[in-house]
Amino acid sequence: MPTLFDSIRIGDIELDNRIIMAPMTRSRANDAGVQPGFAAEYYRQRASAGLIITEATNISPMAKGYVRTPGVYTAEQRASWRNVTGAVHARGGKIFLQVFHTGRIALPDFLPDNAQPVSASNVRAKGQNYTDAGMKDFVTPRELTAAEVRQTVRDFGTAAKSAIEAGFDGVELHGANGYLVHQFLGTNTNLRADEYGGSQENRARFLLEVLDAMSAAVGAEKVGVKLSPSVPFNDMQESDAEEFYPVIIEKLNVRNLAYLHVGFEETPTTEINWHKKLRPLYEGVYFANGGFTKATGEKLLADDRADAIVYGTLMLANPDLPARFAKNAELNAPDQATFYTPGEKGYTDYPTLEQAAAAPAWRAS
């Protein structure tokens, strides 16, 4: 049975280990979606992960749903990402760009000309989103026309191509956590009467067309996808998740993607053990995420319920997480107060084991 420290092949690249860095929004970009120079240092520090999956990145101006999030649709944005990919590769790391469209989770504040956000249907999410002017209620989105849906599919294909141009090893589609792709999958968010709504086949159509557009642009072996069945985050409901996700997995099986990433930011509303249920159905590489420690991750691999484990907050706070796991060393605690704040504090200043050992000198520098 593999351990966290065994290599693994995804698509046409070899990962040094099975400790994967989870995609995590950090809100350090500028208002034009351009990453600061120190983003390259943040990702470089974490290059000993088998694979880095970046924070969710906007595919177009209408995709933006959070302050200071990066994009990949302008030359300046791509140039800033090139610094990141160059720094990670110089340390021998591998890095995929996570791409998303936030759909109804966007606020007019983030969109061109304060536009109304778009979604599968005109159903407002309950809850609020953060802006620099304080928390604001979500607004009722406008239902995308079928032509606009097809344009958005093409935008994802373009984003995948742009990611490879910016030096990424591949691209992960964010199909989780209640953003646009998930809004098409959900039973409360997709009330469409056309070929993108109604039956399970129709609700899965947008996800599959997006994956096919991305695969056509860069090759399926460079495309991964993240799903989060029955996660209630962002006011999602999936009343038929137990039957629907196996259908989705069946459709993914024929697509030969780099990997399937099943991740949980919040506890699912169902009692189902999703990794146990979905892993045997998926014929490719399976990444599992959601609250894992070294011990529970090792156990999942040993039980053959995943091929690799995706770590979020542990990787955020421990740039040298694989080395710490290998030595059973103490871990830095994540500082939630700086998850989304601008600047380098809580971003590039988590110490490695060596830096912690040399703490006085390191802290003074």
Ligand X SMILES: Cc1cc2nc3c(=O)[nH]c(=O)nc-3n(C[C@H](O)[C@H](O)[C@H](O)COP(=O)(O)O)c2cc1C
Task: Report yes or no: 36 and 29 within 8 Å, Cβ to Cβ.
Answer: yes
User: Which residue among 70, 268, 290, 346 contacts ligand X (CB under 6 A)?
Assistant: 290
Q: Stretches 151-159, 270-278, 287-295, 299-307: which one binds ligand X (CB under 6 A)?
A: 287-295
CA distances from 23 to 10, 49, 116, 150, 313 (A): 17, 12, 27, 26, 10
Q: Residues 12-31 vs ligand X: string with x where CB under 6 A?
A: ----------xxxx------
Q: Residues 250-279 vs ligand X: string with x where CB under 6 A?
A: -------------x-x--------------
Task: Report yes or no: 263 and 176 within 8 Å, Cβ to Cβ.
Answer: yes
Task: Report yes or no: 290 and 274 within 8 Å, Cβ to Cβ.
Answer: no
> For residues 19 and 47, which CB has a smaller minimum distance to ligand X in the complex?
19
Q: φ and ψ at 160, to 5 degrees? A: -60, -45
> For residues 120 and 262, which CB has a smaller minimum distance to ligand X in the complex?
262
Using rule CB under 6 A, residue 313 touches ligand X: yes
- Provide, rounded to whole angstroms, the least separation between the CB of residue 53 and ligand X: 8
- Provide, rounded to whole angstroms, the least separation between the CB of residue 321 and ligand X: 10
Active site residue 179: yes
Residue 5, burial from CB neighbour count under 10 angstroms (0-12, 13-18, 19+): middle
CA distances from 266 to 25, 89, 229, 288, 290 (A): 16, 32, 11, 14, 8
Using rule CB under 6 A, residue 56 touches ligand X: yes
- Provide, rounded to whole angstroms, the least separation between the CB of residue 113 and ligand X: 25
> For residues 10 and 321, which CB has a smaller minimum distance to ligand X in the complex?
321
User: Which residue among 245, 311, 347, 350 contacts ligand X (CB under 6 A)?
Assistant: 311
- Provide, rounded to whole angstroms, the least separation between the CB of residue 67 and ligand X: 13
> For residues 24 and 208, which CB has a smaller minimum distance to ligand X in the complex?
24
> For residues 11 and 175, which CB has a smaller minimum distance to ligand X in the complex?
175
Q: Residues 91-120 vs ligand X: string with x where CB under 6 A?
A: -------x----------------------
Q: Stretches 1-9, 75-83, 196-204, 308-316: which one binds ligand X (CB under 6 A)?
A: 308-316
Count CB-CB contacts under 10 A for residue 18: 26
Specify which residues 259 forms β-bridges with. 224
> For residues 56 and 249, which CB has a smaller minimum distance to ligand X in the complex?
56
Write down the catalytic residue from 179, 259, 286, 350.
179
Q: DSSP assignment, residue 201? A: H
The CB-side HSE value for 131 (13 A sphere, CA atoms) comes to 16
Structural Rg of the chain based on CA atoms: 19
Q: Stretches 139-147, 183-191, 289-297, 345-353: which one binds ligand X (CB under 6 A)?
A: 289-297
Task: Pull the structure tokens for residue 314.
Answer: 């542990």
Give the footprint of ligand X on residues 162-221 (CB under 6 A): 174, 176-177
Distance of CA 144 to the CA centre of its chain: 23
Report the C-alpha gap between 158 and 180 in whole angstroms.
Answer: 17
Report the C-alpha gap between 108 and 114 in whole angstroms.
Answer: 4
Place of tokens 């141009």: 165
Which residue's CB comes closest to ligand X?
312
> For residues 189 and 192, which CB has a smaller minimum distance to ligand X in the complex?
189
Instruction: Provide the residue count of the chain.
Output: 365
Q: Stretches 33-41, 84-92, 102-110, 284-292: which one binds ligand X (CB under 6 A)?
A: 284-292
CA angle 22, 27, 29 (to 5 degrees): 115
- Provide, rounded to whole angstroms, the least separation between the CB of residue 66 and ligand X: 9
Distance of CA 291 to the CA centre of its chain: 15
**Which residues form the catalytic set?**
179
- Residues within the interface to ligand X (CB under 6 A): 22-25, 55-56, 98, 174, 176-177, 226, 263, 265, 289-292, 311-314, 339
